[in-house]
Structure 1
């Protein structure tokens, strides 16, 4: 029989379960379910298990009986120990209480003493606080005074460095100058405070110091300009810095620039004169050495002026532009500080590059005057039209070059424009004189109808002019229009002279002569694109004269072949039946007349082309001779087609309207030539 080891509800020892087997099974099952339903995560269960583990419990019957007793004994022992510990704590608390009481009495005594001391020291501390506040106020005033003196007052040494002429213009000068500028600027703040008088005094003093400083810079720059060597690549930074500073006084700056321009103009004029005469050095070759060659002489002078301008601009760029926009800022600051001086002048933004170009332009004004004198002398002393035009083109080239270098407002451009206009006037005057001499000696055309000698000379001159113009820097869009004035002077008068000659000539010689002259002119103009419009005009005129020659050749073929009378007679008739029936009755179409005309045509045809070509053989182009002859022959063949067609139509009408016994000879039998034969013989 099995035994149950699970304690019952009363905590009795385990004993075998009595009763029915079914009841025992149900109780056991319930007990197991209850145990298994207990969560091991329950804190009380876990503590109970840990306590049981510490007891080293052995699962025996005796140990199970003693378990509760042992546990209760342990609890009693623990409680006793706790009571003993609390007794010790209570004893210590009693001792602490006595100490706290002693401390409370001591603190009360100390508070009484402190209160007594406070009552005695109160007035002293109040006086001390007042003295400390006064001290802080005095120290604040001392700091304010020190800051004021540091910011608004300069020392005697600084004043001497700023205004004394014996002191150099160095870094110390510019440092003090910047400081005084700051004082002058900040003193305006004082004018809006209660210390207005102090602000006015400081403003007045700083203004005087600044004026003295700028006068010192002005005199120093003038002194430096007297010995300034622009060819020296290492131009001192002090003068550049001084110029930037002086820019804040536009009047002084402008006066300084005027002095500089005067000195540079004199220097460059002397250098140019030395280059002309060779006085610049023993090894220098004078420009006047080539005065016998006017074009080279003027070109050398212009080249020297351009080279000097480039060098001058580069040197001045280092002085005035290399430091950025500092000059512009200085000038703007000067204008802003003195707005009344420019009250009626519109405000403009300072352009450093433009100002530089104006300065360089003024520097070379003396060179420009000397250049103008020499060039005008050369132009007036030569009567060669080609030379005058080449000089004008050379001056135009340098005008464009100087404009790119100095801008469109440079004064030297006016000088060059005047010289170019003078050269153009000389060119036109020389051409007019030449034309006048030609018209005075105008003769008949050459026997071979070739262009006259004066036209060949004019075309040779025109070629030289076109070559010179082609190498110039004239704008592409304006090249044709700009060259029209040259053609009007160098070509049109000569073509008009040729026209006056051929108008007096008989045809076809007049048209041949005109075409030969036009062909020569077109051939001279052909290599250059800027003459395309004039070439088109010449081609139209050649076509007109060619049409005249075609008409003349055509009439020659009609007249020489005897066909003219037939063409005139048949052209007056229409293709109507009545007009066609009238043809056989006309006098020209009688047997004898028609046979005579046919014989004349047969005699003419073998040499017709040779005879026609001989008429215009003096044309200078075989192609044009061939084209004119072919065109006239084609017109002749068309007329012959008309004659043949109407003769055949007339024969057909007669053949259908008459009896065979009474029918007259057919017109085609009397005039047997066909169009195909004519075209073969005239081809």
Structure 2
């Protein structure tokens, strides 16, 4: 019991530490016992039952099923120690068995060590004997592996850089066809030639140079073979077949890598096609091939040679049809595969740097190449066409037909420009033919002028001042020309900023010389009125002819209208003079000219205010010398009475006579308007003369107001003052010239 309740570790016993004396303890014996108990209690109370060791111990006690009795508690330690001693004994027995087994194992290990030592000795001896053999075998294996590697490299090199004999034969031999095998071999040879650049960058450049030299020779032979094959195919190529051989298109794409050969091939093709098309054109013209008799069932183009327009039109239509067919047949070669050809040319320029012009980059334009080739194919046809058209034009003298040919050529020039380009030789030929035709047209016009000039009788103006026959003929020709132009180009815009159109040179050649000739011929007319009327009739005919055609009016209507305006002014003066001379008023105006104010004239323009206001309304404004008017010879009684009588005789038929004076003019509206303005000017002149007469009477102090109903007493007073002789004198001017302006206007209205 004393051990079971022994002090826990760390609690001092009273004997050992000399327990402290309690002041409450009565005796010294009670103090140690009380302290031991308190220590036990403190130890028990301070113990942590959460400690894993205590919990495990309590768990073991619980598993053993020990009942908590005082007897059990006293025997617990002994029982536990007994069990521990028994367990230790069993362990010692077990370790004894283990030691015995270990001794056996040690013996076995010793035996094994001895056996291993024996084997080691045998292995060392065997190694010493086999080492040379293994070293030799290793060397042989390394050599074998190296040889195999070299063999693989040689096989790969040979396979890539050396072409088999059969492929090389198909590439260079002219006996072999140009088929897929050829193109495949050519592509491989080009790849070999390109890959030789890698060999040239290695240490052994000799091999690369040899292979590149050999591949270059093979490539040149292959392209030569391809070039000759294409030439051969071109000879038998049928462009009428809508499906051109695919092998030819492929061959051309490949040959583009050699620009010089490609252009030579195109030149050969152009020459062959030029001959073929020229022969076809000849057959179409004559229906007979060279050295053969053709089929007479079809009518040749020259059958219609009697009609120049149809003949030229049929030839141009044939050329256009041939150009369209040629372009459609060749379009697949240059447009559909234009990208391939461009890439081939790019590669060819790199391989043939001398093909560049002044260092410029050569870029393949498929459309331009097509247009050039079609144009070259038609060169022979163009030459033949030009010769025949020139012959036809030279042998024809109808200017209208010549101009229709010019219009036809202009139409086809525009058509061919869209088809083969503006720079083609075919378009140049058409343009030169237009110029030739226009020059011939001008020559015909000049010949007509020369014929007219050689016969002066034909230039004499008609007696009725109408338009001369040569000008009417020229206007008829011009009308036909304008109709032809209007049907072809009437709705097209002008060509330049000046407003001139394609018809301007024609109208200048066909009209201007004849107008000038008519103007020159009018100088032969001595009578001014007839001369002006003749010129007006000519210009009116021209204006009426060109007015329906805006393209002709653009350049000629304005000058003609300006000239007509000037001539109209001359006609107005002529009519005015006619009225003045026919009425006798011209004599009075001439006599009154010194009395005219400086700022005014007797012949005022129409619709202008009177030159001098009516003097009877403003008597204070009359010049002081008006009194001398009655003394003028023209205002003597006999003369003035004669003029007044002439005026009375003139007035009833004045308008008819004035209109009759200009009856030769072919425009009644012009005659009417000019006559009306001349009558107005005549009325103003008469108003001036009337004012002068009234002013003269008033200035003389001898008024005739009594005749107008003034105061009779005032009139009688004046008569007494002046006398009978003065009264007669004061009334004579007005009495002798009684007409008033109002009467004149009524009679001439």
TM-score with structure 1 setting the length: 0.79
Deviation of 1:328 (Å) = 2.5
Which has the higher mean CA deviation after the structures are superposed, 478-487 or 636-645?
Answer: 478-487
**1 CA distance for matches of 2:305 and 2:357?**
53
Contact 1:244-1:326 at 8 Å conserved across structures: yes
**1 CA distance for matches of 2:236 and 2:193?**
34
Which has the higher mean CA deviation after the structures are superposed, 215-224 or 551-560?
Answer: 215-224
Q: What is the CA deviation profile of residues 298-357 of structure 1, one whole-angstrom value per residue up to 9, with x for unaligned ones?
A: 110111011111111111112333212222322332222122465757443222222222
Which has the higher mean CA deviation after the structures are superposed, 469-478 or 418-427?
Answer: 469-478
| Equivalent of 2:327 in 303, 313, 318 | 313
2:625 match: secondary structure: helix
**1 CA distance for matches of 2:207 and 2:63?**
93
**2 CA distance for matches of 1:156 and 1:439?**
89
**1 CA distance for matches of 2:180 and 2:165?**
17
Contact 1:575-1:646 at 8 Å conserved across structures: no
Using a 3 Å threshold, how does the CA distance of structure 1 residues 118 and 284 change in structure 2: closer, same or farther? farther
> Aligned pair 1:565/2:581, yes or no?
no
> Aligned pair 1:583/2:626, yes or no?
yes
Using a 3 Å threshold, how does the CA distance of structure 1 residues 122 and 500 change in structure 2: closer, same or farther? same
Q: Which residue of 2 aligns with 1:498?
A: 518
Contact 2:627-2:699 at 8 Å conserved across structures: no
| Equivalent of 1:602 in 648, 651, 655 | 648
Q: Which residue of 2 aligns with 1:191?
A: 200
**1 CA distance for matches of 2:588 and 2:282?**
87
Within 5 Å, give how 1:65-214 maps onto structure 2. Answer: 76-77=61-62, 137-214=146-223
> Aligned pair 1:660/2:680, yes or no?
no
Q: Which residue of 1 aligns with 2:745?
A: 679
Contact 2:683-2:741 at 8 Å conserved across structures: yes
> Aligned pair 1:364/2:385, yes or no?
no
Within 5 Å, give how 1:362-401 maps onto structure 2. Answer: 362-401=376-415
Using a 3 Å threshold, how does the CA distance of structure 1 residues 115 and 219 change in structure 2: closer, same or farther? farther
Q: Which residue of 2 aligns with 1:485?
A: 505
> Aligned pair 1:459/2:475, yes or no?
yes
Deviation of 1:529 (Å) = 1.7
1:383 match: secondary structure: coil
Q: What is the CA deviation profile of residues 272-296 of structure 1, one whole-angstrom value per residue up to 9, with x for unaligned ones?
A: 1111122364542211111111110
Within 5 Å, give how 1:27-42 maps onto structure 2. Answer: none
Pairwise CA RMSD: 4.0
Contact 1:584-1:590 at 8 Å conserved across structures: no
**1 CA distance for matches of 2:281 and 2:118?**
108
| Equivalent of 1:634 in 680, 697, 707 | 680
Within 5 Å, give how 1:475-554 maps onto structure 2. Answer: 476-478=494-496, 480=500, 482-505=502-525, 506-532=527-553, 533-554=555-576
Q: Which residue of 2 aligns with 1:262?
A: 271
Q: What is the CA deviation profile of residues 454-473 of structure 1, one whole-angstrom value per residue up to 9, with x for unaligned ones?
A: 22111111112222333445
Contact 1:554-1:633 at 8 Å conserved across structures: yes
Deviation of 1:382 (Å) = 2.0
Using a 3 Å threshold, how does the CA distance of structure 1 residues 645 and 78 change in structure 2: closer, same or farther? farther
**1 CA distance for matches of 2:500 and 2:443?**
22
Deviation of 1:556 (Å) = 1.0
Using a 3 Å threshold, how does the CA distance of structure 1 residues 176 and 169 change in structure 2: closer, same or farther? same
Contact 1:574-1:580 at 8 Å conserved across structures: no
1:273 match: secondary structure: helix
Greater C-alpha radius of gyration = 2
**2 CA distance for matches of 1:308 and 1:329?**
30
> Aligned pair 1:241/2:255, yes or no?
no
**2 CA distance for matches of 1:654 and 1:144?**
147
Deviation of 1:367 (Å) = 1.3
Long gaps (5+) in structure 1 = 1-46, 48-70
Deviation of 1:193 (Å) = 1.7
TM-score with structure 2 setting the length: 0.72
Using a 3 Å threshold, how does the CA distance of structure 1 residues 632 and 146 change in structure 2: closer, same or farther? same
Which has the higher mean CA deviation after the structures are superposed, 323-332 or 505-514?
Answer: 323-332
Contact 1:573-1:579 at 8 Å conserved across structures: no
Which has the higher mean CA deviation after the structures are superposed, 246-255 or 575-584?
Answer: 575-584
Q: What is the CA deviation profile of residues 199-251 of structure 1, one whole-angstrom value per residue up to 9, with x for unaligned ones?
A: 10110111111111112111211221121100001211001101111122222
Deviation of 1:566 (Å) = 3.0
**1 CA distance for matches of 2:275 and 2:676?**
76
Using a 3 Å threshold, how does the CA distance of structure 1 residues 495 and 96 change in structure 2: closer, same or farther? farther
Deviation of 1:682 (Å) = 2.1
Using a 3 Å threshold, how does the CA distance of structure 1 residues 217 and 595 change in structure 2: closer, same or farther? same
